Chain A
Amino acid sequence: MSTAGLKRAHYKEGWIPLLLLLPQLLVLLLFFFIPALRALSQSFVITDPFGGNFQFVWFDNFRALLASPEYRSSVGVTVWFTLAQNALTIFIALVFAFATDRVVRGRGLYRTVILLPYAIAPVIAGILWAFLFNPYVGPLAFVLKGMGIAWDPNRSGVDAFLLVTLAASWKHICYDYIFLVAALMAVPPSLLEAAAVDGAGPVLRFFKIALPMIGPTIFFLVAMNFVYGFFETFAIVDAVTHGGPGGATMILVYKVYIDGFVHINLGSSAAQSVLMMIFALALTVVQFRYVERNVNYDV
Chain B
Amino acid sequence: MVERTRGIDLVCHGILILGGLMVCVPIYFAFVVGSHTVSEVLTIPPPWLPGTEFFANVATAWQKGNLGRLFVNSFIVAVGIAGGKIAVSLLSAFAVTYFRFHFRMVAFWAIFVSLMLPVEVRILPTYEAVANVALPLQWLADVAGIEVTLDWNMMNSYGGLILPLIASATATFLFRQFFLTVPEELCEAARIDGCSPLRFFRSILLPLSLSNIAALAIILFLYGWNQYLWPLLFTTDKSMATAVIGLKNLIPQADMEPAWNIAMNAALLVMLPPVVVVVALQRWLVRGLVDSGK
Indicate whether A and B are direct neighbours in the complex (CB within 8 Å). yes
**A273, closest chain B residue (CB):** B121
Q: Decide yes or no whether B289 CB sits under 8 A from chain A.
A: yes
Q: A117-B23, A122-B226 are in contact. Are A296 and B33 (CB under 8 A)?
A: no
Are A6 and B97 neighbours in the complex by a CB distance under 8 Å?
yes
CA of A158 to CA of B229 in the docked complex: distance in angstroms? Answer: 25
Cβ contact of B191, chosen from A9, A17, A25, A29, cutoff 8 A: A9
- Chain B, 80-125, CB within 8 A of any chain A CB: 85, 87-89, 91-92, 94-105, 107-108, 110-111, 114-125
Cβ contact of B197, chosen from A11, A134, A137, cutoff 8 A: A11
**B25, closest chain A residue (CB):** A132
Q: A21, A175, A284: which has the most chain B beta carbons within 10 Å?
A: A21
Are A280 and B117 neighbours in the complex by a CB distance under 8 Å?
yes
**A275, closest chain B residue (CB):** B121
CA of A149 to CA of B122 in the docked complex: distance in angstroms? Answer: 41
Segment of B54-62, B63-71, B126-134, B142-150 in the binding face: B126-134
CA of A111 to CA of B19 in the docked complex: distance in angstroms? Answer: 10
Enumerate chain A residues within 8 angstroms of B105, measured Cβ to Cβ: 1-2, 4
Enumerate chain B residues within 8 angstroms of A117, measured Cβ to Cβ: 23
Enumerate chain A residues within 8 angstroms of B222, measured Cβ to Cβ: 118-119
Segment of A54-62, A64-72, A77-85, A227-235 in the binding face: A227-235
Q: Decide yes or no whether B158 CB sits under 8 A from chain A.
A: no
Are B96 and A5 neighbours in the complex by a CB distance under 8 Å?
yes
Enumerate chain B residues within 8 angstroms of A100, measured Cβ to Cβ: 12, 16
Q: Decide yes or no whether A144 CB sits under 8 A from chain B.
A: no
Enumerate chain B residues within 8 angstroms of A24, measured Cβ to Cβ: 88-89, 91-92, 111, 169, 172
Are B2 and A32 neighbours in the complex by a CB distance under 8 Å?
no
- B31-48 vs A: 1/0 string, CB under 8 Å? 001000000011011101
Q: Decide yes or no whether A99 CB sits under 8 A from chain B.
A: yes
Enumerate chain A residues within 8 angstroms of B293, measured Cβ to Cβ: 179, 217, 220, 294-295, 297
Enumerate chain B residues within 8 angstroms of A231, measured Cβ to Cβ: 118, 120-121
Are A120 and B275 neighbours in the complex by a CB distance under 8 Å?
yes
Are B110 and A14 neighbours in the complex by a CB distance under 8 Å?
no
Q: A113-B24, A124-B271, A137-B260 are in contact. Are A297 and B91 (CB under 8 A)?
A: no
Q: How many A-B residue pairs have CB under 8 A?
A: 363
Q: A9-B187, A201-B5 are in contact. Are A102 and B117 (CB under 8 A)?
A: no
Are A27 and B247 neighbours in the complex by a CB distance under 8 Å?
no
CA of A188 to CA of B198 in the docked complex: distance in angstroms? Answer: 41
Number of interface residues of A (CB under 8 A): 117
Looking at the assembled complex, report how far the CB atom of B204 sits from the nearest CB atom of chain A, in whole angstroms.
Answer: 12
Are A96 and B19 neighbours in the complex by a CB distance under 8 Å?
yes
Enumerate chain B residues within 8 angstroms of A110, measured Cβ to Cβ: 16, 19-20
Main secondary structure of the interface of A (DSSP, over half): helix
Enumerate chain B residues within 8 angstroms of A121, measured Cβ to Cβ: 225-226, 228, 244, 270-271, 274
Q: Decide yes or no whether B263 CB sits under 8 A from chain A.
A: yes
CA of A280 to CA of B117 in the docked complex: distance in angstroms? Answer: 6
Enumerate chain B residues within 8 angstroms of A277, measured Cβ to Cβ: 117, 121-122
Q: A20-B95, A139-B46, A270-B125 are in contact. Are A103 and B16 (CB under 8 A)?
A: yes
Enumerate chain A residues within 8 angstroms of B180, measured Cβ to Cβ: 5, 7
Are B163 and A27 neighbours in the complex by a CB distance under 8 Å?
yes
Enumerate chain B residues within 8 angstroms of A238, measured Cβ to Cβ: 228, 232, 248
Are A127 and B5 neighbours in the complex by a CB distance under 8 Å?
no
Q: Decide yes or no whether A260 CB sits under 8 A from chain B.
A: yes
Are A35 and B278 neighbours in the complex by a CB distance under 8 Å?
no
Q: Decide yes or no whether B217 CB sits under 8 A from chain A.
A: no
Q: Decide yes or no whether A104 CB sits under 8 A from chain B.
A: yes
Enumerate chain A residues within 8 angstroms of B29, measured Cβ to Cβ: 128, 131-132, 139
Are B2 and A196 neighbours in the complex by a CB distance under 8 Å?
yes
Q: Decide yes or no whether B173 CB sits under 8 A from chain A.
A: yes
Q: Decide yes or no whether B267 CB sits under 8 A from chain A.
A: yes
Are B116 and A280 neighbours in the complex by a CB distance under 8 Å?
yes
Are A142 and B45 neighbours in the complex by a CB distance under 8 Å?
yes
- Chain B, 137-192, CB within 8 A of any chain A CB: 163-174, 176-177, 179-180, 182, 184-188, 191
Looking at the assembled complex, report how far the CB atom of B241 sits from the nearest CB atom of chain A, in whole angstroms.
Answer: 13
What are 12 of the A-B contact pairs (CB < 8 Å)?
A18-B103, A20-B94, A21-B91, A28-B167, A36-B125, A99-B13, A113-B23, A128-B27, A131-B260, A137-B42, A297-B293, A298-B170
In the A-B complex, list the 3 residue pairs whose CB atoms are closest, starting with the nearest.
Answer: A121-B226, A35-B125, A119-B274
New contact pairs (17) apart from A121-B228, A127-B247, A139-B46, CB-CB < 8 Å: A9-B185, A12-B100, A14-B101, A25-B92, A31-B167, A34-B136, A99-B19, A113-B20, A116-B23, A117-B23, A119-B222, A129-B26, A142-B45, A217-B293, A270-B125, A281-B116, A298-B118
A contact residues vs B (CB 8 Å cutoff): 1-14, 16-18, 20-21, 23-25, 27-36, 38-39, 42, 92, 95-96, 98-100, 102-104, 106, 110-125, 127-132, 134, 136-139, 142, 170, 174-175, 178-179, 182, 192-193, 196-197, 201-203, 217, 220, 227, 231-232, 234-235, 238-239, 253, 256-257, 260-261, 266, 269-270, 273, 276-277, 280-281, 284-285, 293-299
